[in-house]
Structure 1
Amino acid sequence: MEKTAKPIIGVTIGDPAGIGPEVSLKALLEPSVINSCVPVLIGDLSVLKKVSNLLGIRFNFKVLGSPSEAKGENKLINVIDLGSIDADKIAVGVASSESGWASIQYIERAVEYALKGEISAISTAPINKKAISMAGSKHRGHTEILAALCGVEDPLTMFWVKDVRIFFLTRHIPLIEAIKAVKKDKIISMTLKVEKALRWLGIERPRIAIAALNPHASDDGLIGSEENEEIIPAVRELQSMGLDVVGPIPADSIFHKALEREYDAVLSLYHDQGHIAAKTLDFYGAVAVTLGLPFIRTSVDHGTAYDIACKGVANPRSLIEAIKLAAKLSKIYSYRAD
């Protein structure tokens, strides 16, 4: 697929029992989405029609045999209909093996298209970890499923919010374990991965800031020892390798400095350190990006929200931003498996 053409973005509708189908439909009503790409929903037409009726919004659905048939037109919803699930048998707002299985089918089809070059990138509405587990998946979530389908061992998660790029040393582990994981070798290894990923995004010599762990970056060892014993030695070794790396930068200022464009990216040391900053900056505008796959994948930064499924109140902005970012990054992403 020519990267100069308007990119075709495959949008998986997520768990059919959650808000994914609703935000997917609402996102495709947004003119800025249609202006940036040709979006194609990958899911079940019966689910989308049921949600459309519940929303009281009339959509013009076009069922495609292939993404190449898609047309980027306002109020036209391009759909790849997998026929995975009967919408009338879905228990809305409840995790089930049926909805989990269907959401996995959507991901698998999207990856198939992306690997064949039939779509430029993937944007994903939320799935439910319990539901996919009930369906027999051995993977914890989206990223793990995508990695397995692409034969990639360790893809990177990046948060993108207002052009601030945030990476994570650790993510879904207890905080006490995250603190123990702040080690020189791990910081060096992760920063090298971050530097490579940023070059895939066209930043030839990225400036990377590493967050401190303790208040005031420990005040030279007065408040904790991790900065002096682990982070500073890691930064110095990375600098000796020729990387443009600074740190440790106190966590109460590093994200503001990134917003001021002092850095190309921030390496957050644990899950909430980066998530709180991103979601406070723009809760609905934060987008999760998976790097290290042969294609760009972006995602909403929220869950299935079973409690408000099919009530017409779900905010689609995160998916809107995810689709537009997928279109933008797909034009510059140059993945090299090395």
Structure 2
Amino acid sequence: MLKKPVIGITMGDAAGVGPEIIVKALKHSDIYDICSPVVIGDPKFLKKAIEVTKLDISLNLIDDIKDAKFLYGQIDCFNIDIIPEDLPIGKVSPVSGDAAFQFVKRAIELAKEKKIQAICTAPLNKEAMQKGGHKFAGHTEILAKLTDTKDYSMMLSSPKLKVIHLTTHVGLVKAVEMINPDRTYKVIKLANEVLSRAGYKKPRIAVSGINPHAGENGIFGNGEEEEKLIPGIKRAQEDGIEVTGPYPPDTVFFRAVNGDFDIVVACYHDQGHIPIKVLGMSDGINVTVGLNGGVIRTSVDHGTAFDIAGKNIADEKSMLAAIKSAVELVPKN
């Protein structure tokens, strides 16, 4: 029997719903059937989440992975005691923003040391993190920087649709400027690699257009599809990758949901995020694709939800999906 992979779950912003959804997710016994989860965060706030949720769970505080017990009903948590006990829940704080960054940094160190096989992240708050001194747009950019990765992408996955992005956390004008044939080719290649690793024999990849109707032969836009997308698509096709497009953005996601494609390459953040979230806010997960060292990272596809933090309202469905996807992406040999 194969050894169960160790999945490092980062707490995210302790003032948000991260601690609650982690506690709720680890109350599902089937998680322990498929992996050995360990939380990377401040245990004081896991304890608070246990009290809020009224779940019958205890904590096992550890300083090294060898001290973890991986027992259902007892959460193993790295004893990273860096947040004041009186941190206000549901509010932006530089302290919790800095801590969220430190949790991710520790997780990457553990992944590089092969002590964990994948990272699963609870949400952080970008404003809090930046006020805490870390000028990153989000998790994806932190992971890329700390793994020294240049060619990476954000992939969103839900039961009905998978989307991978050419650009993410930049303004729309800047996003279009950043797209070029080489980037298009590399993201198509990343999409093909991640789906192949997940068991797709010949992933069917569609590329969305930038302009309405994918430019409609120059009627809309300034030839961005011909200049920035089509050369990258043709290069990938020459490699034997099954990729087509660019397709009109207003229909390509519908076609993918209905089975025509396995994944869609989106040109910018909202183009890819909106269809995933329309299908279900709690069903989607975020995967960072292409990190150096084979680091695997999945995440919930929602934010810190400060408005409901500490109220036992947060749904753990996306966290469960993120943990299970992390397990699926761990190499089996």
Q: TM-score, normalised by structure 2?
A: 0.88
Q: Which moved more, 1:132-141 or 1:190-199?
A: 190-199
Count of paired positions: 330
Contact in 1 for aligned 2:208/2:266 (Cα 8 Å): yes
In the alignment, residue 130 of structure 2 is paired with which amino acid? S
Compared CA separation, residues 36 and 134, structure 1 to 2 (3 A): same
| Matches of 1:22 and 1:111, distance apart in 2 | 23
**Is 1:208 matched with 2:205?**
yes
> Would the alpha carbon gap of residues 137 and 90 (structure 1) be closer, same or farther in structure 2, given more than 3 Å must change?
same
The Cα shift of 1:228 comes to: 4.5
CA contact (8 A) 1:38 1:70 kept: no
Q: Which whole-Å CA distance do the structure 2 matches of 1:166 and 1:186 have between them?
A: 16
- Partner residue of 1:140 out of 137, 142, 145: 137
Q: Is 1:105 equivalent to 2:102 in the alignment? A: yes
Matches within 5 A, 1:176-191: 176-191=173-188
Instruction: Name the aligned partner's letter for residue 35 of structure 2.
Output: C
Contact 1:8/1:67 (<8 A) preserved: no
Alignment partner of 1:307: what SS? coil
**Cα pair distance change 1:110/1:240, threshold 3 Å:** closer
Corresponding residue to 1:114 among 85, 108, 111: 111
Q: Classify the secondary structure of the residue corresponding to 1:248.
A: strand
2:214, 2:246 → 1: CA distance? 6
- Which of 16, 19, 30 is matched with 1:18 structurally? 16
Please point out which of 89, 94, 103 is paired with 1:92: 89
Distance between the aligned counterparts of 2:39 and 2:95, measured in 1?
A: 19
Q: Report how far residue 79 of structure 1 moved.
A: 1.5
Shift of 1:321: 0.8
Aligned-pair CA distance for 1:148: 2.6
The one-character-per-residue Cα deviations of 1:211-241 (angstroms, maximum 9, x if unpaired) are: 1233433444444443455434443343234
In structure 2, C-alpha distance between the alignment counterparts of 1:70 and 1:153, rounded to whole Å: 34
**8 Å CA contact retained: 2:137, 2:169:** no
CA distance in 1, matches of 2:300, 2:202: 28
Deviation at residue 24 of structure 1 after TM alignment: 1.0
CA shift digits 1:101-120 (9 cap, x unpaired): 22222112222221111111
Whether 2:317 is the aligned partner of 1:317: answer: yes
Task: Give matches, 1:284-303, under 5 Å.
Answer: 284-293=282-291, 294-303=294-303
Cα offset, 1:138, TM superposition: 3.6
**Structure 1: unaligned runs, 5 residues or longer:** none
In the alignment, what sits opposite 2:4? 6
Instruction: Kindly state the Cα deviation for residue 322 of structure 1 after the two structures are TM-superposed.
Output: 0.6
Change (3 A) 1:233 1:136: closer
Counterpart in 1 of 2:256? 258
Aligned mate of 1:78, from 56, 76, 79: 76
275-284 or 237-246: bigger deviation: 237-246
Which residue in the other structure is 1:125 paired with?
Answer: 122
Q: Does 1:46 align with 2:44?
A: yes
Instruction: Provide the rounded CA distance (Å) in 2 between the counterparts of 1:198 and 1:254.
Output: 19
Residues 1:274 and 2:262 aligned together: no
2:223 equivalent to 1:217: no
Residue by residue, what CA displacement relative to the aligned partner does 1:24-80 show, whole Å, maximum 9, x if unpaired?
111111233233212111112212112322333342222234334434443222222
Contact 1:213 1:269 in 2 (8 A): yes
The whole-number CA distance in structure 1 between the counterparts of 2:280 and 2:80 is 34
CA distance in 2, matches of 1:84, 1:8: 24
1:326: which partner in 2?
326
C-alpha distance in 2 between matches for 1:79 and 1:61: 7
Preserved CA contact (<8 Å) 2:38 2:70: no
Structure 1 pair 31–100 and aligned structure 2 pair: CA distance change class (3 A): same
Task: Point out where structure 2 has 5 or more consecutive residues left out of the alignment.
Answer: none
CA–CA separation in structure 1 for the residues paired with 2:203 and 2:27:
36
2-side partners of 1:158 and 1:51: how far apart?
A: 29
What amino acid is aligned across from residue 318 of structure 2 in structure 1? Answer: S
Q: Which moved more, 1:253-262 or 1:313-322?
A: 253-262
Shift of 1:196: 4.3
Identical residues among aligned pairs (%): 38
Q: Name the CA shift for 1:40/1:311 in 2 (closer, same or farther; >3 Å).
A: same
Task: Return the letter of the residue paired with 2:89.
Answer: V
Alpha-carbon spacing, 1:68–1:291, altered in 2? closer, same or farther (3 Å) = farther
Deviation at 1:260, TM superposition (A): 4.1
3-state secondary structure, aligned to 1:112:
helix
Scaled by the length of structure 1, the TM-score of the pair is 0.87
Residue aligned with 1:126, SS: coil
CA spacing shift, 1:233–1:61, aligned 2, 3 Å: closer
- With over 3 angstroms needed to count, the CA separation of the structure-2 counterparts of 1:230 and 1:121, relative to structure 1, is closer
